[in-house]
Amino acid sequence: MVLTCPVAMGRTTRQDVSSELSRRGLLRAGVLLALGGAAAPLAGCGLLDRDGQPPQPDPLAPLLNESLQLAAGLRATVDVHPDLADRLLPLAESHEAHAAELARLTGVATAPATPTVSPSGSPTAGPTDRSAAMAALRESERVGRESALQACAAAPAERVALLGSVAAARATHVEALR
Amino acid sequence: MSRRIATTGSATALADALTAEYAAIWAYGPVGVRLSGAEREAAVEAEAAHRARRDALVVQLSTGGGSVPPDRPGYAMPFPVTDRASALRLAVQVEERTAAFWRATLPVSTGAERDRALAALVEYAVRATRWRRSAEITPLTVPFPGRPG
């Protein structure tokens, strides 16, 4: 009985492919907003922050940022190793889908106000050795899995299902990169 | 939300997860006999994981005073399992379906119960990816494991 329910295998993936361009555009816009947002507190300093309390970033902002970094790292590796595109691009698209959902959940205004490219996920400095590149991606996914697990454990009920899926997805990425 | 409502929601979600585990254990019977070697070992290991979670759920639900749904003599399968290929496809579905039921328990669980639900969701999602690799299904992953389509 349980097994007769429809399974959404592949369906979301096709949607992701078809909406990839628009979502990437959306994410870039989000990144620009986030970067622009970093300057806003400076401009408004002394006008709004009278009690010296900066606005609290959403607790999920680092996770959203991490999704974008993981996607960027995967796409950068595809740039160096185009033959890995079939394996890596679906993973990048998943991270971008996570980022879009997390942005929706947290609101664009609370998007991370830090640069989205860290030294570990630099899109321009991926290892040129293929197996080293794969190992680096696997390690990034493993770290990402742990942070998503922690976020899920600490999240309020209305966020926990999405965060569980993000953690599970990152865990499957570790497996898929073997 | 009152504590009582939350507890009731949790018991319902856990009872649903238990029914999913019954079905998963049942499904691995026909799956296992169509596989051999390392794949059969993986099926045995997967079935053992579902049995362990079933047993834990039965204990948890009965000690919590909730109703424990009974196992059934059989479960309808989405397609006949006639060979290795269909066995692998069913294994993928079993893991993805049970992952979805554990995901559904997350919003109504806290603390150690949430940790267990999360561990089940992650483990079954990873197992689904391994079965996808065996079945040569691409991509190996889905964007949101356990999310209803």
Q: Do B147 and A5 touch (CB under 8 A)?
A: no
In a domain, A14, yes or no: no
User: What is the structure's pLDDT at B99?
Assistant: 98
Integer CA distances (angstroms), B75 to B81, B94, B141, in order: 13, 12, 26
In a domain, A139, yes or no: yes
In a domain, A1, yes or no: no
Contact B49, B122 (CB under 8 A): no
B98-146, pLDDT tens digit by residue? 999 999 999 999 999 999 999 999 999 999 999 999 999 999 999 999 9
User: What is the structure's pLDDT at A16?
Assistant: 41
- The helix or strand, by DSSP H or E, that contains position A69, with its residue range, turns out to be helix A61-80
In chain B, the number of structural domains is: 1
In a domain, A45, yes or no: no
In a domain, A89, yes or no: yes
Q: Name every chain A residue with its beta carbon within 8 A of the beta carbon of B104.
A: 161
3-state class (DSSP) for residue A45: coil
Report the share of chain A in percent with pLDDT over 70: 60
User: What is the structure's pLDDT at B3?
Assistant: 40
Residue B82 has a CB neighbour count (10 Å cut-off) of 10
Average pLDDT, chain A: 75
User: What is the structure's pLDDT at A112?
Assistant: 46
Q: Do B141 and A5 touch (CB under 8 A)?
A: no
Give the highest mean pLDDT range of A23-27, A33-37, B98-102. B98-102
Residue of higher predicted confidence among A126 and B88: B88
Q: Do A165 and B147 touch (CB under 8 A)?
A: yes
Residue of higher predicted confidence among A125 and B45: B45
What is the CA angle A42-A44-A48, rounded to 5? 130
CA-wise closest residue to A143 among A62, A87, A75, A25: A62
Which CATH number does the domain housing residue B55 bear? Answer: 1.20.1260.10
DSSP labels, A129-174: SHHHHHHHHHHHHHHHHHHHHHHHHHS-HHHHHHHHHHHHHHHHHH
What is the rounded CA–CA span in Å between residue A55 and residue A19?
33
Q: Do A9 and B142 touch (CB under 8 A)?
A: yes
In a domain, A33, yes or no: yes
pLDDT of A84 over the 60 cut: yes
User: What is the structure's pLDDT at A68?
Assistant: 97
What is the rounded CA–CA span in Å between residue B146 and residue B149?
9
Q: Which residue has the tokens 């507190």?
A: A41
Contact B145, B96 (CB under 8 A): yes
What is the rounded CA–CA span in Å between residue A173 and residue A176?
5
Contact A10, B104 (CB under 8 A): no
In chain A, the number of structural domains is: 1
B63-88, pLDDT tens digit by residue? 988 789 999 999 999 999 999 999 99
Q: Which domain range does residue A60 map to?
A: 19-39+56-110+126-176
Q: Name every chain A residue with its beta carbon within 8 A of the beta carbon of B133.
A: 176
* B78 CA: distance to closest CA in chain A (Å): 5
In a domain, A163, yes or no: yes
Contact A145, B87 (CB under 8 A): no
Question: Quick one: average pLDDT of B2-12?
Answer: 63
CA dihedral A61, A101, A16, A124 (to 10 degrees): -10
User: What is the structure's pLDDT at B115?
Assistant: 97
Q: Which amino acid is at A171?
A: A
User: What is the structure's pLDDT at A13?
Assistant: 39
Residue B2 has a CB neighbour count (10 Å cut-off) of 7
A48 confidence band (pLDDT: 50, 70, 90): low
In a domain, B19, yes or no: yes
Q: Which domain range does residue B117 map to?
A: 3-135
Q: Name every chain B residue with its beta carbon within 8 A of the beta carbon of A90.
A: 138-141
In a domain, A101, yes or no: yes
In a domain, B96, yes or no: yes
pLDDT of A23 over the 70 cut: no
Q: Name every chain A residue with its beta carbon within 8 A of the beta carbon of B140.
A: 87, 90, 172, 175-176
User: What is the structure's pLDDT at B57?
Assistant: 96
A52 confidence band (pLDDT: 50, 70, 90): low
Integer CA distances (angstroms), A15 to A6, A10, A11, A91, B60, in order: 17, 9, 6, 14, 39
In a domain, B142, yes or no: no
* B63 CA: distance to closest CA in chain A (Å): 24
